[in-house]
Amino acid sequence: MSSEHTPAAAAAATTADTARAGVDFIRARILQDNASGRFGGKVHTRFPPEPNGYLHLGHAKSICLNFGVAKEFHGQCNLRFDDTNPTKEDTEYVDAIREDVRWLGGDWQDREFYASDYFERLYQYAEQLIQMGKAYVDDLSAEEIRRYRGTLTEPGRESPWRNRSVEENLDLFRRMRAGEFPDGAHVLRAKIDMASPNLVMRDPTLYRIRHAAHHRTGNTWCIYPMYDYTHCLSDSMEGITHSLCTLEFVNNRELYDWVLNALGVYHPQQIEFARLNLTYTVLSKRKLIQLVKEGHVSGWDDPRMPTLSGLRRRGVPPEALRQFCARIGLARADSTVDYAMLEFCIRERLNACAKRVMAVLDPIKVVIENYPEGQVEELDMPFHPEDPTYGSRKTPFARELYIERDDFRLEPPKKYHRLSPGAEVRLRYAYLLTCREAVLNDDGSVRELRCVYDPQSRGGQSPDGRKVKGTIHWVAADSAVPAEVRLYSQLFATEHPDEAPEGKTFLDNLNPQSLQVTQGLLEPAAAALQDGEAVQFERLGYFCKDKDSTNARPVFNRTATLRDTWAKLERKG
For residue 19, what pLDDT is reported? 41
Question: Could you give the CA distance from residue 498 to residue 505 in angstroms, rounded to a whole number?
Answer: 7
Among 453, 446, 415, residue whose Cα is nearest residue 566: 415
CA angle (243, 249, 251) in 5-degree steps: 120
User: Looking at residues 388-407, what average pLDDT do you find?
Assistant: 96
Annotated binding site: 50-52, 56-62, 82, 227, 246, 275-276, 283-285
CB contact at 8 A, 80 and 115? yes
Q: CB atoms < 10 A from the CB of 481, how many? A: 18
Q: Please say whether the dihedral angle defined by the alpha carbons of residues 299, 303, 306 and 310, taken in this order, is positive or negative.
A: positive
User: What residue spans of 201-307 are helical by DSSP H?
Assistant: 227-238, 253-263, 285-293
> What is the amino acid identity at position 151?
T
For residue 271, what pLDDT is reported? 97
Among 284, 210, 238, residue whose Cα is nearest residue 111: 238
Which residues does the annotation mark as catalytic? 50, 275, 285
Question: Could you give the CA distance from residue 263 to residue 74 in angstroms, rounded to a whole number?
Answer: 30
Phi-psi region of 208 (alpha: psi -120 to 50; beta: other; left: phi over 0): beta
Among 113, 123, 129, 134, residue whose Cα is nearest residue 235: 113
Residues paired with 483 in a beta bridge = 520
Question: Could you give the CA distance from residue 362 to residue 445 in angstroms, rounded to a whole number?
Answer: 13
Q: Residues 42, 47, 50, 51: what is their CA dihedral angle, to the nearest 10 degrees?
A: -120
Tell me if residue 247 falls in helix, strand or coil: helix
Give all domains of the chain, ordered by start, each with its CATH number.
25-118+227-274 (3.40.50.620), 121-225 (3.90.800.10), 285-355+484-570 (2.40.240.10), 359-472 (2.40.240.10)
Q: Is the pLDDT of residue 114 over 70?
A: yes
% helix / strand / coil in the chain, to the nearest 5? 35, 25, 40
CB contact at 8 A, 566 and 555? no
Q: How confident is the model at residue 570 (pLDDT cuts 50, 70, 90)?
A: very low
Question: Could you give the CA distance from residue 485 to residue 520 in angstroms, rounded to a whole number?
Answer: 6
Annotated binding site for L-glutamine: 82, 227
Question: Could you give the CA distance from residue 503 to residue 190 in angstroms, rounded to a whole number?
Answer: 40
Pairing mode of beta strands 44-47, 76-81? parallel
Q: CB atoms < 10 A from the CB of 357, how many? A: 24
Compute φ and ψ for 488, nearest 5 degrees. -95, 140
Tell me if residue 349 falls in helix, strand or coil: helix
For residue 96, what pLDDT is reported? 96
Helix (H) or strand (E) holding 449: strand 446-453
For residue 136, what pLDDT is reported? 98
For residue 9, what pLDDT is reported? 41
Question: Could you give the CA distance from residue 89 to residue 84 in angstroms, rounded to a whole number?
Answer: 8
User: Looking at residues 161-179, what average pLDDT do you find?
Assistant: 98
Give pLDDT tens digits for 330-360.
Answer: 999 988 999 999 999 999 999 999 999 999 9
Give pLDDT tens digits for 406-422.
Answer: 999 999 998 899 999 99
User: What residue spans of 469-538 are helical by DSSP H?
Assistant: 524-527
Q: For residue 480, with 0-12 CB atoms within 10 Å meaning exposed, 13-18 middle and 19 or more buried, which class applies?
A: buried
Cβ-based neighbours of 476, under 8 Å, separated by 6 or more? 376, 395, 396, 397, 398, 400, 401, 523
Give pLDDT tens digits for 282-332.
Answer: 999 999 999 999 999 999 999 999 999 999 999 999 999 999 999 999 999
**254-258 own/partner pairs: CB under 8 Å, 24+ apart:** 254/198, 254/200, 254/201, 255/190, 255/200, 255/201, 255/204, 255/228, 256/228, 256/231, 256/232, 257/232, 258/190, 258/192, 258/201
Give pLDDT tens digits for 70-96.
Answer: 999 999 999 999 999 999 999 999 999
54, 59, 115, 133 from 49: Cα distances, Å: 9, 8, 10, 32
Q: How confident is the model at residue 564 (pLDDT cuts 50, 70, 90)?
A: very low
Q: Is the pLDDT of residue 399 over 90?
A: yes
CB contact at 8 A, 261 and 267? yes
Q: How confident is the model at residue 571 (pLDDT cuts 50, 70, 90)?
A: low
Question: Could you give the CA distance from residue 570 to residue 173 in angstroms, rounded to a whole number?
Answer: 72
Q: Is the pLDDT of residue 54 over 90?
A: yes
Q: How confident is the model at residue 22 (pLDDT cuts 50, 70, 90)?
A: low
Q: Is the pLDDT of residue 373 over 90?
A: yes
Give pLDDT tens digits for 521-562.
Answer: 999 999 889 999 999 999 999 999 999 999 889 999 999 999
148, 316, 345, 352, 546 from 348: Cα distances, Å: 55, 11, 5, 7, 21
Question: Could you give the CA distance from residue 229 to residue 222 in angstroms, rounded to a whole number?
Answer: 17
Per DSSP, the residues of 365-432 read: EEEETTSPTT-EEEEEEES-TT-GGG-EEEEEEESEEEEEGGGB-SS--TT--SB-BT-EEEETTS-E
